[in-house]
Amino acid sequence: MRIIVAKTAGFCMGVKRAIDIVLDADKKEKGRLYTYGPLIHNPQVIDMLETKNVKVISDLSEISGGTVVIRTHGITPLEMRRIKEMGFSINDATCPLVMKVQSIIKRYAGKGYNIIIVGDEDHAEVKALLGFAEGKGIVVESITEVERLPHNMKEVYIVAQTTMNRKRFIEITERIKERYPDCKIIDTICDATDKRQKEVWSLAKEVDAMIVVGGRNSANTKRLAEISESIGTSTFLIETEEELDSDSLNGFNAIGITAGASTPNWMIRRVVEKVKSLKRERRWRLIRYSINLGEFLIKSNIYIAIGAAFLTYASCTLQGIYPNPLLMLIATLYIFSMYILNSFTDQEAIRLNEPGKTEFLRKNKRVLIELAVVSAVISIFFSVKLGLIPFLLLLLSSILGIFYSIKIIPLNLSRDHGFQRLKDIPASKDLFVALAWTMVTVLIPYFSTEEDITPLSTFTTFLFVFSLVYIRSVLFDIRDIQGDRIIGRETIPILIGKENTKIFLVILAGLSATGLLISRNMGWTSNLTHFMLLSILYTCGYLYLYHKRVISHGLSCEAVVDGKFILVGCIAFIWAVMN
């Protein structure tokens, strides 16, 4: 079974903007926060906002004060005027494209034109648009409704609901033009909607079944399902992954997955993971067991812990230190324990960003926590054998790792700077993660050896390892940008944008490669640094694959990205054998 995820699936610009407005208002506004009607047409997102004390209201008489956020679909001028007169603070999250249609209607209605809106009369956007027509607006949803239009209209201006099906819009407007030859027509369907519909049209022809994820009250989501069905492709319109089962998807060899403009990434990921699990049931037993084993290693963080052992071996070899197995064991136990413990102290982020791991962690919570605690204790115990400085470094790393996601600063002291936990410091996660890795894989080996090591070789190794881990961590921040934005975490992609972050990571990879070359030319390190350039090339490779959305999400993405740690260890081992 092939699974193809549409490139256009997920939040559109208008929805993302609206979510950002609400989340920013939640931070800044002191009073209660309300949305006038559901902000977007997605029940899961609305439920999530309610957990952040953002309440949906349908009648202004329900509240007496606070801030009102205008929904993406907009409201009528009369409603806006009433909100202002009642003294509420206003944050307008109306989609800019909807605002454009509102201004067009207002301008031409003011010139005396009769406005025809092609769309769904019961949709919130259309109801708001009618308010700008000053009593001269008529809604047309189908060709049959054209016949009921008045014959005596002379000046006619036609617009579309922004989420309208373009094919149907053209059919309706052609019929209207026959009735009113001098009418003016402007296609106000948003480009994102058009691209989404075109991709579904194309994708539905390639697959046996199409899954459309989104709220059932979402017009653009329903239209995606309608387009798929019109081609004759078996189509499933679902809100959550729980609506899928093996019987409904049985017999399909290729499944396409798309989502409406108000569907968050984490909902799409959950559906993808569910389809993958159903797909696995149909594979041969040996292949199924192999995939299950791979997923277990990744979900349990054993895979990344093994990567730490390989990276420690490479770090020792680069520095000219004998790769003591005890050093690799300490790194493995430390990384395993910290990643497990932070998974349980940061569960909201895991739930939104890594849905594939959520159920695994829930089912195995007690065992994993016990193993993590035992691993941390054993790693600290073994570090004592390496000397005082290695012990203190590991102890410090463990303390920082454990308390990173825990509220350690009293609320009264945190009011001035806005954070109670280390993770609340903007863009701190990636720095702390990279520093923790370099401590256990580079500095502990350096301070535990009695060999005559050039500090510059350790400095070079430190920067190399730091860049590898930092790039990995920031890349996953790009993947998790929606979830991080919702939980209030300020990561680099949130601060400077996704595309700028991608450029930043490529530059960082280039600087890392340059550092390796300089260190070799200066005689600080052996010619192993030349071979380590392969890991930089590998890093640029998976950054490219991520950019092209070949490995944009899921456990396969982690397998590829974290595979570079194993790669550097293998390169170092082969070099050591050959020399």
Q: Which residues are designated catalytic? A: 125
Residue with tokens 């290695």: 390
**Do 28 and 304 contact (CB within 8 A), yes or no?**
no
With residue 322 as reference, give the H or E element that holds it.
none
Task: Extract the runs of DSSP E, i.e. beta strands, from 495-555.
Answer: none
Picking from 478, 466, 473, 476, the residue whose alpha carbon sits closest to that of residue 512 is 466
Residue 570 backbone phi and psi in degrees, to 5? -65, -40
Task: For residues 230 and 204, give the distance between their C-alpha atoms in angstroms, rounded to a whole number.
Answer: 10
- Looking at residue 441, the DSSP 8-state letter turns out to be I
Cα dihedral value 442, 445, 447, 448, nearest 10: 170
Which tokens is 510 given? 């280039």
**Do 187 and 160 contact (CB within 8 A), yes or no?**
yes
Distance of CA 62 to CAs 34, 83, 232, Å? Answer: 11, 12, 46
Cα dihedral value 40, 46, 49, 51, nearest 10: 180
Which tokens is 320 given? 């000219």
**Do 337 and 376 contact (CB within 8 A), yes or no?**
yes
Per-residue 3-state assignment (H helix, E strand, C coil) for 31-69: CCEEEECCCCCCHHHHHHHHHCCEEEECCHHHCCCCEEE
Which tokens is 300 given? 């349990």
Task: For residues 66 and 54, give the distance between their C-alpha atoms in angstroms, rounded to a whole number.
Answer: 11
